[in-house]
Chain A
Amino acid sequence: MLLFSDNLWYYKCMNKMISVQDITSAYGRRPVLKGASFTAERGECIGIVGANGCGKSTLLSILAGTLKPKSGEVRYYGQAAWSGPQMRCSKEVIRKMTGYVPQENPLIPELTVYDNLRLWYPDSGRLKQELEEGFLHLLGVQEFVTKQASKLSGGMKKRVSIGIAMSGMPPVLLMDEPSAALDLICKEDIRNYLEVYLQRKGTVVITTHEESELELCHKLYVMKDGRLQQIDRALRGADLVKMF
């Protein structure tokens, strides 16, 4: 099973996969991020927790290139994604390096699952291969590939969303609360998939409140007052909530 694009040879040469330095962002006059920083290495899973509206999704949107930060720097494998005083964005770096699973699902409801996937997989041969024996098979997408997207359950939609995020075989997966409102089986499937992805030296940045996903995290950060603070990864339940 192929998870990353082989032609990105430098994945194997450098260890520091993600470097985020002093990212600031604001909605109008309200500051959301006030200097968030962290780093991640190959095969690491970074967990970000925090209260609702604290800026977790904003940070992930910046990492995914869909939101412009006010200042700071983001690098993937040493290549600048957001940098400079004008906050220039290298879409090419972001597109090659990251797959983004947002909270909402980027599906066109009128189309079938297969047609939705075809939008993101220019090579139909590769799509078929992924459905038969690749990561889409691992996610169980082949079981409902002919269904119309509007008729899918939340769990099915999320699996397809992950499939879309993985279409470019990126080495970094950014996931914004992937298990929210999903049933236990679906949560387990997604967790299993993440395990395989991490074993293959993929890097994951995940915002979550799910204990099963927190267990996968090598580093855990809490977002508080617009800053990231690393905490003990073993913290759970009330102890974890106290940190918010």
Chain B
Amino acid sequence: MMRILPRMLLQAILLMVLIGTIAFCGVKSMEKEPLAVGVDIAVVVREDNAVTQMAIGFVENMESVSEFCTFRQVSEEEGFSLLGEGEVAALILLPEQLVEGIMNGENPAVEIYFAKQAGLEAMLFKELTDAGAGLLNVAQAEIYGAGDTAAAYGFTDKLSVMEMEIDSYNLAFALDRLALYETEQLSVTGQMSVLQYFAASAAVLFLLLFGMALYPVMQPEPAVFRKQLSREGVGFLWQDFCQWLCGLLSVGLMSILLLPAVRLAKVWMAHSGQETELFRSVQDAKQMTETVVLILLGMVLVSTFIYCLYSLAGSRISGILMLFVVSLMMIYLSGGLVPSVFLPEMMQKIGGRLPTGYLIRAAGSIFVGYRSQTVRDCVSGMCLYTVLLGGLACLCRRRYVR
């Protein structure tokens, strides 16, 4: 073992550099290309006059709206057709006498239709319209309040000046302020930052692929060797357990390698002016227990997974190949290479229930600290897979001896 260890260590470092580079590229690509969301809106103007066009032009050119939305004036029929085809995220039907209605307090209803599949765009536009309606309400309340006050104190002749003042304040301080909108942060990586997400995925991928360097420890020993050991009083189950334990210790040892790598990454980030928090600070004993349990169970599952694949493959070369292909495939399905929200729904469901899905969530939980329910889900999933994969490995190894 002591002779094999330096070689394994070298392979692990090379693998870490390779996966670290891939993860770094992943983080950089996500940072460089922020998700550009353009919302196409169809507008149906039932009464086409200069005042309505002016109002639409004003709304369209507002800073907060022009950043996301493009308005298209269409007929009602064309609008519904575009909405059905998914060409536009929403359809607005402006009623007749819209501006006049606003001015005289009738407030005719504006109908807004959203496409079923619009998702993020529809959500964004709904946010805009809610905020816009809120602003209009406030503005109307201001104007009516000013009108009533002017009437009560008998200086209605000054009302137009007051309304202009109110309008100018609203235009200057309210309508162009994005900060007034409700904000909801949406991230493809969930609660984790992009850095944390790729760090968690890279750590899991590293440990799985490190299994390729573990073949001297994990590959099934020749049947004749196992039989000789059995003659010496070392039973097959005990042999299996010892080999698995040896793999677990190696995985544990290599996990320690991740710590200096994280330290190095933090130093580099600080040097390049990016101060990003990778780990949450552990607050109490419960969090500490959760973290330790997740780390231990994660290592147990990884070593059992590697052990099982070598058992299924039966030989060194096929074991290494199988481990490489299966690990990459499972990591991909679990959203370790590309965040799972970009994958089809079916793949997301499958990927989340794979061992790698649990491992990535467990690693993420260590970084950001998930709710207890998620931690319990991870723990039960990892325990279940450990038992299943371990049992399968034992059955396979018994078959080779026969």
Judged by a CB distance under 8 angstroms, whether B225 is at the interface is: yes
B225 CB contacts on chain A under 8 angstroms:
106-108
Q: Which residue of B lies closest to A116 (CB)?
A: B225
Inter-subunit contact B4/A66 (CB<8 Å): no
> Hey, what's the 0/1 contact readout for B178-218 against A, CB within 8 Å counting as 1?
00000000000000000000000000000000000000100
Q: Does B36 contact A (CB under 8 A)?
A: no
Task: A125 to B362: give the CA distance in the assembly, Å.
Answer: 48
Flag whether B266 is at the interface (Cβ < 8 A).
no
By beta carbon, the residue of chain A nearest B4 is: A110
Task: Name the contact of A112 in the complex, choosing from B3, B221, B223 (C-beta under 8 A).
Answer: B3
Tell me, rounded to whole Å, the shortest Cβ–Cβ distance linking B59 to chain A.
73
Contact A95–B232 (Cβ < 8 Å): yes
Query: Chain A, 76-105, contact with B by CB distance < 8 Å: what is the 0/1 string?
Result: 000000000000000110110000101111
A164 at the interface (CB under 8 A from B): yes
Say whether B227 contacts A102, CB under 8 Å. Answer: yes
A144-193 interface with B by 8 A CB criterion: 164
Q: Across the interface, which residues of B come within 8 angstroms of A100, CB to CB? A: 228, 231
Q: How far is the CB of B222 from chain A (nearest CB, A)?
A: 6
Interface residues of A in 37-69 (CB under 8 A from B): 64-66
B232 — which chain A residues lie within 8 A by C-beta? 95, 120
Size category, A interface: 20 to 34
Which residues on B sit within 8 Å (CB–CB) of A110? 4, 216
Bound Cα distance from A115 to B225, whole angstroms: 14
A91 touches B227 (CB 8 A): no
Do A65 and B231 have beta carbons less than 8 Å apart? yes
A106 touches B222 (CB 8 A): yes
Using Cβ atoms and an 8 Å threshold, which residues of chain A touch B4?
Answer: 110
Q: Which residue of chain A has its CB nearest to the CB of B230?
A: A66
| Contact A105 B231, CB 8 Å, known A111-B3, A112-B3 | no
Least distance between A104 CB and chain B CB atoms (Å): 4
List chain A residues, Cβ under 8 A from B227: 66, 102, 106
Within 8 A of B (CB), among A104-133: 104-108, 110-112, 115, 120
C-alpha spacing A64/B224, complex, angstroms: 12
**Are A95 and B233 in contact (CB-based, < 8 A)?**
yes
- Name the contact of B224 in the complex, choosing from A92, A106, A112, A120 (C-beta under 8 A): A106
With both chains docked as a complex, state the minimum distance between the C-beta of A227 and any C-beta of chain B, in angstroms.
Answer: 25
What B residues does A112 contact at CB under 8 A?
A: 3
Instruction: Give the residues in chain A near B216, CB-CB below 8 Å.
Output: 108, 110
Q: Given contacts A66-B231, A95-B231, is CB(A102)–CB(B224) below 8 Å?
A: yes
Q: How far is the CA of A102 from the CA of B228 in the complex (A)?
A: 9
- Please name the residue on chain B nearest to A167 by beta carbon: B232
Shortest C-beta distance, A205 to chain B (Å), equals 15
Chain B nearest CB from A148 CB (Å) reads 9
- List the A residue with the shortest CB-CB distance to B223: A104
Number of A-B contacts (CB under 8 A): 41
Cα A91 to Cα B231 in complex, Å, equals 7
- How many angstroms between the C-alpha atoms of A107 and B222 in the bound complex? 8
Chain A residue numbers with a CB within 8 Å of B222 are 104, 106-107
Task: Output the least CB separation between B118 and chain A (Å).
Answer: 59
Residues of B within 8 A of A104 (CB): 222-224
A105 to B227, CA, bound (A): 11
Residues of the A chain whose Cβ atoms lie less than 8 Å from the Cβ of B3: 111-112, 115
CA distance A110 to B213 in the complex (A): 12
Report the separation of the CA atoms of residues A175 and B172 in the bound assembly, to the nearest whole angstrom: 99
| Pairwise interchain contact B233-A91, C-beta atoms closer than 8 A | yes
Q: What is the minimal beta-carbon distance from A170 to any residue of chain B, in angstroms?
A: 11
Residues of B within 8 A of A65 (CB): 231
Contact between chains at A108 and B221 (CB < 8 Å):
yes
CB neighbours (8 Å) of A108 from chain B are 216, 221, 225
* Contact digits for B212-250, partner A, Cβ 8 Å, 1 yes 0 no: 000010000111110110111100000000000000000
Q: Which residues of the other chain, B, contact A103 by a CB distance below 8 angstroms?
A: 224
Give every chain A residue within 8 A of B221 (Cβ-Cβ): 108
A106/B228 in contact, CB under 8 A: yes
CA distance A192 to B232 in the complex (A): 27
CB distance from A91 to the nearest CB of B (A): 6
Query: In the bound complex, how far is the Cα of B221 from the Cα of A105, in angstroms?
Result: 12
Give CA–CA (A213, B231) in the complex, Å: 26
The distance in angstroms between the C-alpha atoms of A61 and B4, with both chains bound, is 32
Question: Nearest B residue to A112 by beta-carbon distance?
Answer: B3
Q: Which residue of B lies closest to A119 (CB)?
A: B229
Interface centre among B216, B221, B223, B228 (most CB of A within 10 A): B228
Interface residues of B in 61-81 (CB under 8 A from A): none
CB-CB under 8 A for A94 and B224, given A110-B4, A115-B3: no
Nearest B residue to A65, CB-CB:
B231
Bound CA span A1–B214, Å: 40
- What's the least CB distance linking B401 to chain A, in Å? 9
Which chain B residues numbered 1 to 47 have a C-beta less than 8 Å away from chain A?
A: 3-4
CB distance from B399 to the nearest CB of A (A): 15
Which residues in B have their C-beta under 8 angstroms from that of A106? 222, 224-225, 227-228
Interface string of B149-163 (1 = CB under 8 A from A): 000000000000000
A-B pairs, top 8 by smallest CB distance, nearest first, are A106-B225, A66-B227, A104-B224, A110-B216, A106-B228, A106-B224, A102-B224, A65-B231
Other CB < 8 Å A-B pairs besides A102-B228, A108-B221, A112-B3, 4 of them? A66-B231, A95-B232, A100-B231, A108-B216
A: residues with CB less than 8 A from B are 64-66, 91-92, 94-95, 100, 102-108, 110-112, 115, 120, 164
Interchain Cβ contacts under 8 Å between A and B, 16 examples: A65-B231, A66-B227, A66-B228, A95-B231, A95-B233, A100-B228, A102-B224, A102-B227, A105-B224, A106-B222, A106-B224, A106-B227, A106-B228, A107-B222, A108-B216, A110-B216
